Each structure stands twice: as C-alpha cells, then as structure tokens.
Structure 1
C-alpha cells in the first residue's frame, strides 16, 4: 500500500474518529489533497463511549439501519432514592448508533470525496518545514516522511500531535472520567426509546446509564473517583437494588472502557499550520461526557477552514483562527456553563441529589436551571452555598 503515503499533502488529519473524518471530508470535498492517518488497524475500534448522538440531519447524513440502532425521544434522570424525572423534547432527541459501523461510514464518506486513508499508522514526530510541517508516520511498520501545509490533530484524549508543536492538550487526571460499559442482551428497559441516567454513590462524581440499542442495551458508568476501578463500580451497579430484577436475564456481549475528558476545552486550539479538534481539544460536554456531535461539528469547521487556507496559500495562526472563532461562538459558552454545573454536582451528596429530584416536576420538556435552584434553596437553604455563582 505504498501508494497511499505520497510525499506531500495539503492537509494531514490525525485520527479517524468522527472529528477527523468530518475534517478530512470537508477538506477533500473542497478540493484539497488530504491524508487521514489512523493508528488502529480498523476504523471504529475500539469503541469507548455509550454511542448516543443528537440528530444527524444537520450533517446531511442519511439515517441508515446500517448504523442506527435506536431512536431516542428523551431520558429519565434517576435520583439515589429512585425518583424518576422524565425529560422529553427536541433537545433530548437523537439516536444510539453502532460506533464501529458509524465511524467507518464517516471515513468511507470522506474517502469517496478524495481523502486517502492510512490505517495502522502512527504519527511519531512533527517538525516545521518551509511553510508547513514534515510529519513522520509509521505505517504498517515502516517509517515515512510526509510534507503538509496543515495538520489537524484529532487523535483523541491521549493526543500527542498537538503537544509536539507546543499546544498543551494533556488532561489533568481529575478532569478525566473513567468509563466502563457492557453491551448486554436481555435487559428489561423502562422504555425502548428513553435513556436512563442514575446518580449517587453508585457512580461517584459521575453517573451510570442504560441506553437502548435495538436488540441490546449499553449499561455503563463514568466515575472521577479513582479509589476503585470503573469496572468494579460497574459490576456493583449491576447488582444494585435500584435495578430490581431488570438484569436477571441479561448477559454481556461486549465490554468497553476508556477515558473521557470533562474539564472543558483546552486553552488554544490553533497555531501556525495546525488545528486541534474533538477530544484532543476538550470539545466534550463536561456535564454528560457526550462528544460525538461536538466532534463532528468542530471537525467540519476545521476542514472548511483548512481548505480556505490552502486556496489562499496562507496557513498562519491568524488565518486558521477562523476555526477557533467559529467553534467557540457555537459551543464555548455552553461548555463553560456545563463545566460550572458539573463542578457543583460533584460536590452534592445523595441527600442533596434527592432534594433536587423532589422539587423537580416528574415530567419536563426543558430544564429551567435557575427555577429549579430557587426551589431547591427554598426547601434546603443550606445548599445556597453551591449555587451562588449561578444565581448571582
């Protein structure tokens, strides 16, 4: 496969997850010579998330039974005492997909518009060369040097590519949620179109979930607490009385684990000749840990900006800053607000969570955070100290 790694490309995208595949798609679609580098031998492996995503229509991606497993209408928030709050509405609608198939679909879609893809390939070095970079790639065990004008770092939470040029991406361990999940068959769902979120000591400073996935369900959790492994918390969750006998006939068909950055976006996502997207950039909801939609949207912006820069023959930080301005305008305030909410939730004990659940209506179309906070404070004035920054 030597033909894949030619000497020079306009854009090299590192990482073939949703962010990287969307970035390469929009770069190639706009006529830019693009290489997509993926360290795994199979795109979409290993899966490290619960596979839920909001509506795909924004990206002009047709809904296909090939990768869509469930249509989601909303979710249940379940307090430690078992109280369920039902949330429905357009913001909660979406899908649970088969990531192994979905990620590969996105990469194939990118290849169809011209992207060259190198699987089982790692970027091991990156250094300036004329008006771009030389990128050292180990491809199928052999070393190659590729010249490029722009690098898009989409290499996940453990990103090393941006670090090579001085963009700080490494995450604080206390800002990384450790996740473990079984895909199980035989789970008794509350509703085949509703996600379930469980809060409390069963998943310290995080939450547990059950997501319907067609004939199966994703049952998992994420924790910040490092006193035990996520898998140990997960196995305890499976035996928790709150689930009663809903898992008595269930059995795992797959196990997944990984880390999710929930500390908010990194300080800088752009420099001369480089942009950072997806998990590498911290473009993940600090509150839910969801990142597929953010990755796809920010990746799309990065690909568009890269193609413009190549056509202008200007790859400077100033030109590429269009990417940072656009993604921040769309997402930054929301991410920082969610970061505040996450930090508050991590301070609440089970009694506090039960109080919050009790003051919330059983069914909601939307969550009015300030209205809920005022109700909570009225019932438990001692909790005011946690919410001052939000209602001030």
Structure 2
C-alpha cells in the first residue's frame, strides 16, 4: 500500500471518532498525517449505542446522511418501574448511524489532506532518533512507517500506548461488557426519547437502554462484575423485562458486542512523540458509558496540539503536555464526578434504587448531579450514607 511506504509528521492509529477528529485537526494545521485503521471498512464493527449530545460543537451540521433520530430527552426507570422523565441539557442530542458517521468523519479528515490506510494493523512501535517507526501489518506484509508523533486512538485495548511505554491497560473490573440488538418493530414510548432501565437483576453494575433510531431501535445493556454474560441479561429483559409487552414483536436486524472502559482516564495521556485519545485514554463517562463526544473533542485537541508541535519543530513531552492540560480543563472534573456517582449507584440495592427514583420525582429539566443530591437528601434522608461525601 502506497500510504505505508511514505513517512509522516503524524500517524493516528484508529479511525473511530477520536482518531478521525485527530487526523482532521492535525492535517488542517498543516501536518502531513496518516490515519491507520485495522478494519477493512471504517465504522465496522459497531460497538456502541450510537448517541451523541451535540454535533454543532464540532461545526458538523446534523445530516440525514448519518443522523437517524433527534433526541429530546430520556426516561429513567427504577427496578419497580417508577419513571423519571429528563429533558433538555445533556439528555438531548442525536442517534447516529455509526457505520456512516465514522466514515463521514474519516472523509472529512481526508478532505483536509490526511491519508488513510485501511485493513492495516499496528503491531509495534520502535524509537528512531526523535521519532518513531510504526510497524504496520497489511495483507501479510509488514511495513515500517516513519513519523514524529503517534496519536493512539486504538480503543479499549490501547496496545499502541503500551508500545510507547504508557500505562494504558484497563482493570478488567472496570470494563463494562456490552451487548446490543438493533431491532425493528419496537413499540416506543416516545420516538424522540431514550429509555434507561436500572436494577441489579436487569443490568448489574450498569444499565439497559432503548435508543430510538427511526425505523429501528438500539436495545442493549452493559454489565460489570456479573455472574452471567451480557447477552443473557439482554435476552432475559426482552422476554420478561419491564418493556416486554412493547418488545414482543421486536426482531433483531443486527447484533453488536463490545467493552466500555468505565474506570476513569488513564494516569498519563502524553509523552515524547505520543498522545492517547478516546477509549484508549479512558475518556468515556464512567456513569453513562458515553464516549463519542469526549473522543471527538479530545481528538480535536490532540490534533491541534500535534499540528502546532510539528510547525514549531518540537514534539517533546513538555510541548505535548498541552494536550492533557487542555482536555483535563474541559472534561476531567466531570469524568471524576461521574466515577463517584457510578460507584454510589453500584452499591445500592434495588429497594434503594426505587427510593432514589421516588426522591427524584417525576420530571427533571436537566441531568444536574448536584441538584440530584440536594433533592435526594431532602426527600430520602435514609440515602445520606451514600452521598455524605458529596455534600
């Protein structure tokens, strides 16, 4: 492959939303950029519920090409069926078709000058001078691609960050095991509202979702530390769960599995000539498992920092530390707050989750965690043991 025989300023590994945004920003800022993707088709396989709170923040107009539905809020269900309606704020957004959206982002990067190598797996990194040889396997051939900066956006496995000497391996107990059907003939409560189901028998250590997607809906869940497989919990919900009557005629058109690293960000996301982005960096909400927006935003920052470093002919650890400073200023406090709340929820019994839902009431205008706590402690003081450290 011609792209693998050249040398580059920046090599981005992984053409998910984080990687493509990195390549877009890097190329836009004048760096000669290569985006490497191990799959033969960008966007495949999908391992995600496909919801994103905003596209406008990235200058991307919502297009029917890849937007399948506009979301105006969500219904939260306690184990006993108590429903809390959330509207506005971060509960709004879009459900996209990742197979098309991811390819759109990669094409967007290519239009800025990034080259793309598909069906190409990075199997190693070798230091050479003040840069890297990126060892790539493509169709049983190995290539050494020279570059100055590597952006590791290779997902939860994060092998590239490890090759560079950064500690990126996730604790297995912090990986949410996910299973999802895309289904048709789902009877929705509201075609513009997401549904979330909580309970230790429904999805221990996680939750179950139903996300409307036009003619179909994504019905899936994530579990942690469970005795059974994620797919077993999902099939049980379809047969006997709170929404069984609305799912009785539903039939799958696609099955998806994956892992979400919900243990918070890795300790360090940069070093000499290396930046780590998206799931590889643990830039995913520990509470919701949502990561598309975070990956895109952090990828944008990574690409900008890399492009500037190339212009200034300095890609040292000190210079690239700007990336971590910038993304942490925007997202770190929120990520760590979500981690605290996740740890609280997973300690609660189903009765306590029911009490929590009662305390929240029927309607919330936004997902404001501080407002949540005040309301909970006013109406259900018995739950104070969980929230006392957050007051």
SS of the residue corresponding to residue 79 of structure 2 reads coil
Q: Residue 209 of structure 2 contacts residue 219 of structure 2 at CA under 8 Å; is this kept in 1? A: yes
The match for 2:36 is: 37
Q: Which residue of 1 aligns with 2:277?
A: 277
Relative to structure 1, the CA distance from residue 295 to residue 372 in structure 2 (aligned partners, 3 Å threshold; closer, same or farther) is closer
In the other structure, the counterpart of 1:122 is 121
Tell me the alpha carbon deviations over residues 110-169 of structure 1, each in whole angstroms, 9 at most, x when there is no partner: 111111111110111112111111111112221111110000000000110010121011
Structure 2 counterpart of 1:21: 20
Name stretches of at least 5 consecutive residues in structure 1 with no aligned partner: none
Map 1:354-369 to 2 at 5 A: 354-369=354-369
Residues 4/349 of structure 1: CA separation in 2 closer, same or farther (3 Å cut): same
Q: Verify the 8 A CA contact 2:90 2:367 in the aligned structure 1.
A: no
Once the two structures are TM-superposed, the CA of residue 380 in structure 1 deviates from its matched residue by: 4.6
More divergent stretch after superposition (375-384 vs 69-78) = 375-384
Matched length = 390
- Pairwise mapping of residues 1-392 of structure 1 onto structure 2 (< 5 A)? 2-200=1-199, 201-377=201-377, 380-391=380-391
Normalised TM-score (structure 2): 0.97
How far, CA to CA, are the matches of 1:111 and 1:3 in structure 2? 15
Q: Residue 21 of structure 1: SS of its match in structure 2? A: helix
Q: CA RMSD in A?
A: 1.2
Partners of 2:21 and 2:6 lie apart in 1 by 23
Deviation at 1:51, TM superposition (A): 0.2
Measured at CA, do residues 160 and 192 of structure 1 come closer, stay the same or move farther in structure 2, by a change above 3 Å?
A: same
CA distance in 2, matches of 1:318, 1:171: 25
Q: 8 Å contact 1:7–1:145 — kept in the other structure?
A: no
Quote how far apart the aligned CAs of 1:5 are: 1.6
Contact 2:205 2:226 in 1 (8 A): no
Q: Summarize the Cα distance change of 1:122–1:185 in structure 2 as closer, same or farther, 3 Å threshold.
A: same
CA distance in 1, matches of 2:370, 2:303: 37
SS of the residue corresponding to residue 95 of structure 2 reads: strand
SS in 1 for 2:226: coil
- If the length of structure 1 is used for normalisation, what is the TM-score? 0.97
CA distance change for structure 1 residues 29 and 194 in 2, over 3 Å: closer, same or farther?
same
Contact 2:89–2:367 (Cα < 8 Å) also in 1: no
SS in 2 for 1:41: coil
In 2, Cα distance between equivalents of 1:256 and 1:63: 24
Q: Distance in 2 between matches of 1:55 and 1:375?
A: 28
Stretches of structure 2 that go unaligned for 5 or more consecutive residues are none
How far does residue 227 in structure 1 lie from its aligned partner after superposition? 1.2
